[in-house]
Structure 1
Amino acid sequence: MKSIPCNPNASEEVRSVLNYFHEIQGTGIITGQHTQTMAQEELNYIYQVTGKWPALCGFELLGYSPNINYEDSGEECLLEVAENQDTLQKAWKWTQKSGGLLTFTWHWFSPLNGRDKSFYSEHTDFNVSKAITEGTKEYEALLSDMDHMANILREFCNKRIPILWRPFHEAEGTWFWWGSKGPEIAKQLYRIMYERYTHYHNLNNLIWVWNSPLVEGYVGDDVVDIISRDMYPPAHQHTDLRKEYEELVGVTRTPKLAAIGEIGPIPSIRSLSTSRIPWLWFMTWSQDFGRTEKFTTKEELRSAYHCDYAITLDKLPKLY
């Protein structure tokens, strides 16, 4: 079955990836890991434990936000930004050396009036309700930041590298500024970005991933390739997440591919191999989630990565 991207001008590489995703639905799950530092300790940990690499690697763009308030930020924030510097070099290396799947998470520092970790609502006075209205200073700041990030993504587009693009993640919550005024505003922000990146910047290498399980504020099938949600079950709880899957696929009118955008303890790959709940991928979050046994034991990780149902990097075909 051929997949039709939401962007009619999507690149052949995007179409190749989406077609592959349709082929593997219910026959396997793509293993993924988020990283946010140059050291990428999480990837090395997985390889040391399992002898395998994940097929999908997530990278963090927070340090590339153009409006970080260095003068009014705490040590923890400054360290996080410093450790994230130049991680795009690792993203290049990942795609060129491994041919693996690539996704970005952008903890977007507030376009205006931010302090410390201003991607959190509590650290900014940015009025996101005004940011969806043309002519306001908030709208101009929003577009300026979007354009800044588009220029960073441009090189990946020029080199025809497909990106699983998951903007305004966890849009159902109020903890990030983009969700602070409710999911309806977050929906409009996403649509503004989609129009800007697709029709103005022509970033035709993006695969558009919506990230929220709520029916309220769902952005619309016309601008989404894949639906996803983030989940953090209790430590060492590993299931096939059937209930969560059924909730997520209920948000769309037409069937969509579904993925686990972020997770703490990994899902049970053994259970999935039996139930065949068609999660497309999972991406374990970074730091203690991905480099210690606090949430997933080495035994569970090893068992998952060696299950026939798990799609690791060595099983991934050349897609771009």
Structure 2
Amino acid sequence: MTIVKNVTPCNPNASEEVKAVLQYLSDISGKGIITGQHTLTTAQKELHYIEELTGKLPALCGFELLSYSPNINYEDAGEACLIEVEENKNTLDNAWDWALNRKGLVTFTWHWFSPFGSRDKGFYAENTTFDASQAVIVGTKEYEALISDMDAMADILKPFCDKKIPILWRPFHESEGTWFWWGNKGPEAAKKLYQIMYDRYTNYHHLNNLIWVWNSPLVEGYVGDDVADVISRDLYPVKHQHSDLKKEYDELVQITPTEKVVALGEIGIIPSIQQLSETHIPWAWYMTWSGDFCTTEEWTTREELYNAYHHDYAITLDKLPKLY
């Protein structure tokens, strides 16, 4: 199995920091795996749990941008939705701290409340009338609303660009599924949404600090090597069945003949670090999902988590070189 990867950024104007991170991801693939953890709330109980148990922190931290969606329908939202939004507010303060003070890797997930037509948790297709297939057509009201939301998020991302902080940017995640509005109209529409955002953010907003992460294992609808730096997929295996996920890796790399950095965008349990150290399946990083996936033993036991973070093959925050 080849470990060499195409590390030329898809954005020809990508920052030196982006180039450094991509090169590092390429260099460590098959030689180690970056530990990652998603945090949904500003309390970041996941990081506290990991540090208290292991004495270490993940090298990569994921931050949720759902509360920064410009068009949340507060008037028609249930209690669970309102709590989720409230607990997520100001999470960017944590992202700034992680980047500037911890010097860890940053990745953003955006559960995007649809540009209009939504109720409650409006990122779910069942909770919105917004039509992604119309949003990719220039001149429609859906397209105009899409661009407006994109521009609002670009304004949030721009300060990170100004400070030369590289961001692993994973928009329209899980596009293979129909549960989110951006995937509900099929992979071709999701592909076009991503391509529109890439063009808008790269050629209009000049967000040259973004590392573009595609997040779907489907050959159909792959966005193209010219707009993807990393290919990834989300997995929620059976509880406590840790493995190297070779089968899932082999499926994912079929979406392009080009060698790309490959990652586990989200996962319910930590992969088997021990197996990976033996088989060298070149996942560059994994990011365990937030809440009970991390802070209980329902998916990964305390012993399993401790052993993973103390394995020589695991790249924790203390092992991460200064990349920006």
Q: Report TM bin, short chain.
A: over 0.9
Give matches, 1:1-320, under 5 Å.
3-320=7-324
How far does residue 253 in structure 1 lie from its aligned partner after superposition? Answer: 2.3
Counterpart of 1:213 in 2: which secondary structure? Answer: coil
**Counterpart of 1:44 in structure 2: which amino acid?**
H
Cα distance in 2, alignment partners of residues 127 and 299 from structure 1:
46
- Provide Cα deviations, 1:6-43, integer angstroms capped at 9, x if missing partner: 00000000001011111111100000000011110000
8 A contact 1:221–1:253 mirrored in 2? no
How far does residue 290 in structure 1 lie from its aligned partner after superposition? Answer: 1.1
Cα distance in 1, alignment partners of residues 257 and 307 from structure 2:
36
Cα distance in 2, alignment partners of residues 74 and 205 from structure 1:
36
Consecutive unaligned residues in structure 1, runs of 5 or more: none
**What is the number of residues matched between the two proteins?**
320
How far does residue 265 in structure 1 lie from its aligned partner after superposition? Answer: 1.1
Structure-2-length-normalised TM-score: 0.98
Cα distance in 1, alignment partners of residues 302 and 106 from structure 2:
25
8 A contact 2:7–2:260 mirrored in 1? no
Cα distance in 1, alignment partners of residues 207 and 101 from structure 2:
23
Percent identity of the aligned residues?
70
Cα distance in 1, alignment partners of residues 265 and 7 from structure 2:
20
Counterpart of 2:212 in 1: which secondary structure? Answer: strand
How far does residue 255 in structure 1 lie from its aligned partner after superposition? Answer: 0.9
8 A contact 1:99–1:318 mirrored in 2? yes
Counterpart of 1:233 in 2: which secondary structure? Answer: coil
**Counterpart of 1:62 in structure 2: which amino acid?**
L
Cα distance in 2, alignment partners of residues 150 and 131 from structure 1:
18
8 A contact 2:7–2:229 mirrored in 1? no
- Provide Cα deviations, 1:31-69, integer angstroms capped at 9, x if missing partner: 000001111000010111111000000000000000000
Q: What's the RMSD between the two structures over aligned residues? A: 0.8
Counterpart of 1:261 in 2: which secondary structure? Answer: strand
Moved over 6 A (4+): none
**Counterpart of 2:224 in structure 1: which amino acid?**
G
8 A contact 1:119–1:176 mirrored in 2? yes
Counterpart of 1:230 in 2: which secondary structure? Answer: strand
- Provide Cα deviations, 1:108-163, integer angstroms capped at 9, x if missing partner: 00101000001000000001111000100000000000000000000000000000
